[in-house]
Amino acid sequence: MSTTPPLGGTYGKILHVNLTTGDKWIETPAKEIYHRLVGGRALVAYLLLRDLPPGANPLGPENLLIFAPGILQGTNLPGSGRHAVGAKSPLTGGLASSEIGGWWGHEFKRTGYDVLVVHGRAGQPVYLWIENEQVEIRPATHLWGKDTGEVEPLIRAELGDDKIRVAQIGVAGESMVYFSSIMHDINRAAGRGGTGAVMGSKNLKAVAVRGTRKLEVADRKRVSEVSKWLGQNYREKAGWAIETGTPGGVIHLNTIGALPTRGFQDPQFTAPEKISGQLMHETILKERDTCMVCPISCKQVVEHDDPDGRYTLDPVYGGPEYETLSALGSNCGVDNLLAVAKANERCAAYGLDTISTGGTIAFVMECVQRGLLTATDTGGYLPQWGDPEAMLAGVELIARRQGFGNRMANGSAKLAAELGNGAEAYAMHTRGLEVAMHEPRFKPSLLIGYATSPSGGDHITSVQDSDYAGPGDNINRVNAIYKVEPLARHDLSEKKLQLVYHEINWHHFLDCGVMCYFHPYFYEHMAEALSGATGLEYSIADVLAVGERANTLGRLFNYREGFTQADDKVPRRLMKAFETGPIAGEALSPEKFEWALRRYYELMGWDRETGYPLPERLNALGLSELLAEVNLKA
C-alpha cells in the first residue's frame, strides 16, 4: 500500500509524542487508513486497538490520548470546525470519544499534521507547543491549578502570539475526575468519557497550536460547490439554530413530556420557563459565538453582574446549551437560570462534563431522597431536589475531589455500586456513562443507541424518533438510500430499525468527518466533499460505511476490554411508563427492547446472540485487512 503522495485533505503524518521519554516521531500511514476511516472516532478506535495494550489502566502512562481531526478539517467547508479526542475511558473502561467545535481542530490541521497521539506521563506538569511542524514540551508547573480562563491568555503571552489555540484541562482534569473534560478555546468541551482525566494523568496541562500550512485538496471546485449549497440553504434549513440554538427547546420539550426531570422520575418540570433559552435571551445573553467556517453562530455567550458576586457570569466561559440547562436544571429540579449558568461557567473553568456532573448530582439527590445517604456518609453534603446552592456545591466538591465529592467524581455508576441497597436502580447510565438529556419514553429508538453506542449513554450517535415523524429533510436524507415514509414517533418496527441502522451510521460518519450535526447536509453532500478533497470517489454507501466502521471498531475495542452483550442494557426506569403527563402509558417494553436490540445486531452484521461483529461483515467493510496485525483478544 503506497503512502506517497499523501491523500488529498491530509498531510500523511501522524505526530506521536512520548511525555515519559520526550521522544517525538512521525508515522506515515497508508492512504487506505484515511480513505476507509476518514478521521475522528474511527481513527481513534483503530489506533487504540492497534497500539494500546489490552487491559491497560486508563489512568496509567500506557493509555493513549488522541486528538483526531478528519480529512475535511482545514478545507474551509462550513461545519468542519470540529475534531475528535479519544482514549480508553476511566469512567467506563471502554472507548472515550468526544467531538468538539471551536477553532482548535482547524488550527492544528494547519500545523502540517493530521493526528496527535500522546504517550506516557511527564515527570512534572508540562504543555505541548506545536507551531507548524515544530514540537516542544514546555514546563507548566506555573499553570497547574489555574482555571481555564486564566491559562489560555498566559500561554499566548508566554509564546507571544494571540492567535494560538489552546486545548487544556482545569482542576478537575488535574484531580483526575473520571468525567473531566478537555476544554478548547476555554468554552468548548471534549466532554464525555473522561478524556480530561487521561490528560491529567499524563501531567499534560495543555496543547497549544499555531499553524500556517495550506492544506491541499484534489478538486477545490467540488468542495466549494458543497460550501455554496450550504450558504444558500442554511438560513431556511437550520433556522432553529440561528434563532435560539439548543436552549430554545426547553419549554417545548417539557410541553410534550420529553424534558428529563429529577433523575428521569417526573413526567414534566414545574417551571421550564425559568431555565429556558427564551429567558436567557431576554436577560443574560450577551452575544452569539461560532466555530471556524460556520455561519450559524449557535453558541450562547452570557454575562451578568451580581451585586453579591454569587451569580456573576464571565462571558469568556460562553453559556449553557440545552444539555446543561436540563442536566443541571430540570434533572436536578433546579429552576434558577442564574444558578445553572453559574454551574456551567464553573464546569468550563474546571473542565467538567456538564451531563455527567448533573447526572451524578441528581443521583445523589435521589439517594438522599430515599434515605440511602446520611450526613455521616457524605460529611454533611445532603443535596435536596431543587436546591441551587446544593447543586453548585456539588460542582465544587466534584472538581476538587473534596469530601464526598471524591466519591462522586468517579461517576454515578461506580458510586451506586459502592452504596448498594438498590441504589443502582437510580443511576441513569449505560456502560457507566450518564445518559444524555433526552427522554427514551418519548423517543424509544434512543434506547438502542444508548445500549449500543461505543461510549455509553451518548445521544449524538442515537436517533431522535421525532425527527422522522413527518415529511422533511431528515426523511428526504434517508430516502437517498432507504425508501421510507414518515414513521410515528413511538414506532419501533422493522421499518424504523432499518432507518435507525442507516442514520446511526450517518451520525458516526459525522464524528469521523468531523462535521457539525447542525449543518443540514445530506448524504450526497458529504460524498461530494470527500471526493473533492481526496481525489477518490465516494458514494453515499461509502460515506455510511465509514460510520459503520467507526461503530464496529468501537464495538471491537470495548469487547477486547471486557464488555459483552450483557452490557447492552439501559436503566429499567427508562422503560417504565409515566402514570401522568403528556406521554402517560408510553414506554418500550423489555421484550420489545430485546427484539429491537437483536434485530439491530443483525443489521449491523453482529452475531445475534453475542453481539460480536461477524467475520463476513468485517471483510465486507474492509476491516479485516486493517486489523490483520491487531490484537482483538482481551
Could you report the per-residue pLDDT of 14-28, keeping only the tens digit for each?
Answer: 999 999 999 999 999
Q: Let me know whether 177 and 41 are in one domain.
A: yes
Domain co-membership, 450 together with 359: no
pLDDT computed for residue 580 by the predictor: 97
Residue for grid cell 430516502: 479
Listed residues 140, 175, 210: the one ending a domain? 210
* SS (HEC) of 82-119: CEEEEEECCCCCCEEEEEECCCHHHHHHCCCCCEEEEE
Residues 282 and 177 in one domain: no
pLDDT band at 4 (very low <50, low <70, confident <90, very high): low
The domain that holds 303 is classified in CATH as 1.10.569.10
32 and 141 co-located in one domain: yes
Q: Are residues 482 and 550 in the same domain?
A: yes
Domain assignment present for 401: yes
Same-domain status, 414 and 481: no
Phi and psi at 18, nearest 5°, equal: -105, 110
The verdict on residue 257 lying in a domain is no
599-625 confidence digits (pLDDT tens): 999 999 999 999 999 999 999 999 999
Q: How many CB atoms lie within 10 A of CB 586?
A: 16
Note the pLDDT tens digit of each residue in 323-342. Answer: 999 999 999 999 999 999 99
pLDDT in tens, 171-228: 999 999 999 999 999 999 999 999 999 999 999 999 999 999 999 999 999 999 999 9
The answer to whether position 225 is within a domain reads: no
Does residue 191 fall inside a structural domain? yes
Look at residue 527 and tell me if it is in a domain.
Answer: no
**Are 419 and 455 in the same domain?**
no
Interatomic CA distance for residues 608 and 598, integer angstroms: 6
pLDDT > 70 in the chain, percent: 99
pLDDT score of 445? 97
> Alpha-carbon distance 584 to 581, whole Å?
5
- Whether residues 134 and 57 fall in one domain: yes
- Run of H or E residues at 537: none
500 & 382 share domain: no
pLDDT digits 0-9 by tens, 571-599: 999 999 999 999 999 999 999 999 999 99
Per residue in 536-568, pLDDT (tens digit) is 999 999 999 999 999 999 999 999 999 999 999
Cell of 235: 438560513
Q: Looking at the structure, tell me whether residues 167 and 34 fall in a common domain.
A: yes
- The answer to whether residue 236 sits within a structural domain is no
Distance CA 499, CA 504 (A): 8
Mean pLDDT of the chain: 96
Whether residues 453 and 507 share a domain: the answer is: yes
**Burial (CB count within 10 angstroms: exposed 0-12, middle 13-18, buried 19+), residue 359:** buried
Q: Say which CATH number the domain at 152 has.
A: 3.60.9.10
What are the CA-CA distances from residue 226 to residues 72, 297, 473 (Å)?
12, 19, 16
134 and 65, same structural domain?
Answer: yes
Question: The pTM is what?
Answer: 0.97
* Total domains, the chain: 3
Q: Is residue 534 part of a domain?
A: no
pLDDT, tens only, 417-448: 999 999 999 999 999 999 999 999 999 999 99
* Residue 358 forms part of a structural domain: yes
Q: Taking the CA of residue 125 as centre, how many other CA atoms within 13 Å lie in the half-sphere pointing to its CB?
A: 17
Domain boundary among 370, 400, 427: 427
State mean pLDDT over 107-115.
97
Angle at 411 between CA 406 and CA 416, to 5 degrees: 95
Work out the pLDDT band at 5, boundaries 50, 70, 90.
Answer: confident
548: containing domain: 445-518+539-626
Integer Cα distance of 15 and 35 in angstroms: 19
Please determine, for residue 120, whether its predicted confidence score (pLDDT) is greater than 90: yes
